[in-house]
Structure 1
Amino acid sequence: MTHTNNSSTEVLGPERRRRWSIEEKLAMVRESFEPGQTVSLVARRHGINPNQLFHWRKLHQDGSLSAVSAGEAVVPASELAEAIKQIRELQRLLGKKTMEAEILKEAVEVARSRKWIARSPLLPGDDQ
């Protein structure tokens, strides 16, 4: 039933949406995979739309439903794989740059010891 005032609309009556806990969703998903059960039967038994149960089953298969119950962030597997690939590449580049810096430090030390370069405040390790 709807009651309308000049500027606002008020909806009267109970809210139809039910909140299901993660444990309840997991229980329904597991039940729908049991022998002799179908999504439609389980959904009807619990008073939910079969499409909702199909959605929960997909989340469960992706690992998202249990991740949410564990309080973890949910990230698509493709994003995770791309992030891991990027991390490995950055680690490789960092290792390469670290090695280059060490080689340059050694070269500066050798050049100083042979007096090929004078002490300069622009070079690392030089104190004024």
Structure 2
Amino acid sequence: MDTKTLEVEVIPPVRPGRRRRFNAEEKQRFLAEAEMAGQSISSVARRYGLSASMLFHWRRLAEEGSMSSLGADEAVVPESEVKRLQAQVRELERLLGKKTMENEILKEALELARPKKRTSPPSLPPRGGSR
């Protein structure tokens, strides 16, 4: 009879409430390990005490090119947030242009409304009393 040895992997429990942070290199290493033959996202996630959905999320980010910003220690902002902020900037630029134009119009109106200063003083009646 042929005896096959079974390999059993013991996965240590993860303490609840402990939030771990991973840098971009670690995330890429987990994903590379999951891509190896005979491995899966779920098995790698169990081995390191991670959520499989987190690894799937990291894989999607890597496919979109967002993992490169993680390597530069930059914040990743959702595309919807970027679009919302760009629309807000456009609206603020439009309002600034409108206010600048109003300011110029008001300056011109003030210049037209101010009385012209004379260069010579007005002639005064002679002193002495008769008109």
Same fold (TM over 0.5): yes
Is the contact made by 1:67 and 1:73 (CA closer than 8 Å) also made in structure 2?
yes
Structure 2 match to 1:99: 101
Larger Rg: 2
RMSD of aligned Cα (Å): 3.6
Q: TM-score, normalised by structure 1?
A: 0.56
| Percent identity between the two aligned chains | 48
- Structure with the largest fraction of strand: 1
Q: How many pairs align?
A: 100
Give matches, 1:1-128, under 5 Å: 16=14, 20-30=22-32, 32=34, 39-40=40-41, 43=44, 47-48=47-48, 51=52, 52-61=54-63, 63-113=65-115
Instruction: Name the CA shift for 1:104/1:24 in 2 (closer, same or farther; >3 Å).
Output: same
1:15 shift after superposition: 6.8
CA–CA separation in structure 1 for the residues paired with 2:86 and 2:61: 22
Kindly indicate whether structure 1 or structure 2 has the higher relative contact order, using CA contacts under 8 Å at least 6 residues apart.
Answer: 2
| Alignment correspondent of 1:126 | none
Go from structure 1 to structure 2 and tell me whether the alpha carbon gap of 1:98 and 1:40 turns closer, same or farther (over 3 Å shift).
closer
**One-letter amino acid of the counterpart of residue 54, structure 1:** F
The answer as to whether partners of 1:28 and 1:42 remain within 8 angstroms in 2 is: no
CA separation of 1:33/1:93 partners in 2, compared to 1, >3 Å: closer, same or farther?
farther
Name the aligned partner's letter for residue 97 of structure 1.
K
Moved more, 92-101 or 52-61: 52-61
- Segments of 5+ residues of structure 2 without an aligned counterpart are 1-11, 118-131
Structure 1 runs of 4+ off > 6 angstroms?
none
Q: 1:15 to 1:95 in 2, by over 3 A?
A: same
